[in-house]
Amino acid sequence: MRQLLVFVFALFGLLAVGILTSALPYLRSNRDEAQESRLWAASIAFWLLCLVSFAVGTSVTPDAIKANSIIFTLANTFFMGSVVAQTLFCRALLKPASYKLLICASIFVVLLGGYYEYLRGTGDFIGRVIEVAVVISALYFLQLIYLVNSLTLNSSVQIRLLLAFTFIELLLVILRLIFVATQSDPVLTLDDIPLALIAILCGNLLFTALSYLTMVGYWAESSAASQVRIEAESGRVRDLLNEREALLRSVLMLNRSATAGVLSASIAHELNQPIGAHKINLFTLKKFLADKNLNDPDLNDPLLRMEADNERIAEIIKSLRSIFLHEHNDLETTGLREALEAVISLSRKQCLENGILVHTSLIHAEVIGRQVELQQVFLNLINNAIHALELVDGSNRTKEIWVSASKLEPSNFIRVYVEDNGPGIALDRAPTLFKLFNTNKKDGLGIGLWLSHQILGRTGARIAFSPRLGGGSSFEILIPLKRDGLIS
């Protein structure tokens, strides 16, 4: 029987060491803030000392229990300390124990230790077991009360398990109390201890170990929940930072747009004066030629082009001013083919100088939009394509631009493509391609594509970018078709 008891105590002692070791990471992480973790550590440490003391005491004590060692007094004191610390731990799940309560609990354990030493001298094994069982039962009952109340604050599965295991421990202690109280044969040696009592002891130790393991699971559960909360908080912080950045960008963009509006109004005011003077000078020149009867075709054609260009400049300035200052103009209709052909004609000389072939596939259609504004859009896209192709070595391949227009069936839109086989645009720039002041050109202002987007948006038209199959860039423009505006 002695060897069996030593084995039981040693086995559960090793189990206690394993539980304590597995809990070290949680104990370290909570050492500065959670009183319950320190009380749990004190409880299992006392339990480990209790098991070691019982194992040593059982292995060295004489057969006669009356003459047993003081080690058993220490073992019982350590055991009582573990249960008291466990009780305080259960209370700490509700609220921290006060310093005064901790001192009183320590004095209580010391006094019990002295009393157990007194009982050891009497040699009454049954009496000692009964008195220890009564005190332990009262403490387990108190633990149950604390755990039930703590479940109202934290419905953790692990706390529910701890409640169940503590209840089973209480039942086993009561069972041991009943068994010992009804024991008629005296227990004078270790071999006289009934096997049933040892079985109850083993069950008690097992559920005590499970109780300690449950709290390791509780900390793991809390740690996982804390990690989830931290990640959620981090996500919210990231979202707030992103919102902040977006707000700052919006404010910056509004400031830039407002500044651009003021500048455009100022520039328009300044340019309108020389444009007006140029118009007057043209009128004066034409009147002078008419008065002198100098009707020379070689002079009339340049004068007509100068007059048309002067009107076009005035319209562009008016359009820019209305866009930056958010003025609304009445919708007009424009012949799409004529607008595109005029822009291509303006760009032809620059294309020839750079060895660029321009391919067109156009249709006659009346679309919604002012001619000068649509020409600005197409001219900007073709100029961008020309600038991109200027970077390409023409000896390796032919530099080409494609301009095409077609009816988008079954919708009421005309689709225009402006494509090139240049170096293309990086995909990571696509989301901000139509933002104001966004450019990768050394001498660019980042206004062209933004302005094109604004011009088209005023009439319900749309513009989109995509990489061209085979290399280069492709811009798709969808322009609302005037009702019954498709000619051929």
pLDDT digit string, tens, across residues 371-422: 888 888 898 899 889 988 887 876 677 899 999 999 888 778 899 999 999 8
Residue among 47, 44, 150, 15 nearest 92 (CA): 150
Pick the last residue of a domain from 204, 224, 239.
239
Residue 283 has pLDDT above 80, yes or no: no
| 281 belongs to a structural domain | no
Question: What does the alpha-carbon distance between residue 449 and residue 427 come to, in Å, rounded to a whole number?
Answer: 16
Q: What is the pLDDT of residues 37-57, one digit of tens each?
A: 888 888 889 989 988 888 887
CA 478 to chain CA centroid, nearest Å: 37
Global pTM value: 0.48
Contact (Cβ atoms closer than 8 angstroms) between residue 294 and residue 311: no
Q: What are phi and psi of 434, to 5 degrees?
A: -105, 20
Question: What does the alpha-carbon distance between residue 407 and residue 310 come to, in Å, rounded to a whole number?
Answer: 33
Q: What are phi and psi of 431, to 5 degrees?
A: -65, -25
| 288 belongs to a structural domain | no
Q: What is the pLDDT of residues 137-152, one digit of tens each?
A: 899 899 899 888 888 8
In this structure, the answer to whether residues 200 and 82 fall within a common structural domain is yes
Q: What is the CATH number of the domain that holds 65?
A: 1.20.1070.10
Provide the domain limits for residue 208: 2-239
Residue 478 has pLDDT above 70, yes or no: yes
Q: What is the mean pLDDT of residues 214-230?
A: 75
User: Residue 354 has which token pair?
Assistant: 């750079």
Which residue's entry shows tokens 């100098």?
Answer: 294
Residue 291 has pLDDT above 70, yes or no: no
Write down the mean pLDDT value for the chain.
78
Least confident interval from 170-179, 320-329, 336-345, 405-414: 320-329
Q: What is the mean pLDDT of residues 198-222?
A: 83
In this structure, the answer to whether residues 48 and 196 fall within a common structural domain is yes
| 148 belongs to a structural domain | yes
Whole-number pLDDT of residue 192:
63
In this structure, the answer to whether residues 168 and 44 fall within a common structural domain is yes
| 70 belongs to a structural domain | yes
| 266 belongs to a structural domain | no
In this structure, the answer to whether residues 229 and 339 fall within a common structural domain is no
Q: What is the mean pLDDT of residues 309-322?
A: 65
Pick the last residue of a domain from 239, 263, 287.
239
Which amino acid, 288? F
Between 435 and 190, where is the model more confident? 435
Between 461 and 283, where is the model more confident? 461
Whole-number pLDDT of residue 488:
42
The total number of residues shown for the chain amounts to 488
User: What's the structural domain count of the chain?
Assistant: 2
| 14 belongs to a structural domain | yes
Query: Which 3-state string (H, E, C) describes the chain?
Result: CHHHHHHHHHHHHHHHHHHHHHHHHHHHHCCCCCHHHHHHHHHHHHHHHHHHHHHHHHHHCCCEHHHCCCHHHHHHHHHHHHHHHHHHHHHHCCCCCCHHHHHHHHHHHHHHHHHHHHHHHHCCHHHHHHHHHHHHHHHHHHHHHHHHHHHCCCCCHHHHHHHHHHHHHHHHHHHHHHHHHCCCCCCCEHHHCCHHHHHHHHHHHHHHHHHHHHHHHHHHHHHHHHHHHHHHHHHHHHHHHHHHHHHHHHHHHHHHHHHHHHHHHHHHHHHHHHHHHHHHHHHHHHHHHHHCCCCCHHHHHHHHHHHHHHHHHHHHHHHHHHHHCCCCCCCCEEEHHHHHHHHHHHHHHHHHHCCEEEEEECCCEEEECCHHHHHHHHHHHHHHHHHHHCCCCCCCCCEEEEEEEEEECCCCEEEEEEEECCCCCCHHHHHHCCCCCCCCCCCCCCCHHHHHHHHHHCCCCEEEEEECCCCCEEEEEEEEEEEEEECC
CB within 8 A of 470, min separation 6: which ones?
421
| 326 belongs to a structural domain | no
In this structure, the answer to whether residues 352 and 235 fall within a common structural domain is no
First to last CA, the chain: 110
Q: What is the pLDDT of residues 348-364, one digit of tens each?
A: 888 888 889 999 999 98
Q: What is the CATH number of the domain that holds 416?
A: 3.30.565.10
Whole-number pLDDT of residue 403:
93
| 149 belongs to a structural domain | yes
Question: What does the alpha-carbon distance between residue 346 and residue 312 come to, in Å, rounded to a whole number?
Answer: 13
Q: What is the mean pLDDT of residues 175-180?
A: 80
Pick the last residue of a domain from 239, 263, 290.
239
In this structure, the answer to whether residues 9 and 139 fall within a common structural domain is yes
Quote the percentage of the chain above a pLDDT of 70: 72
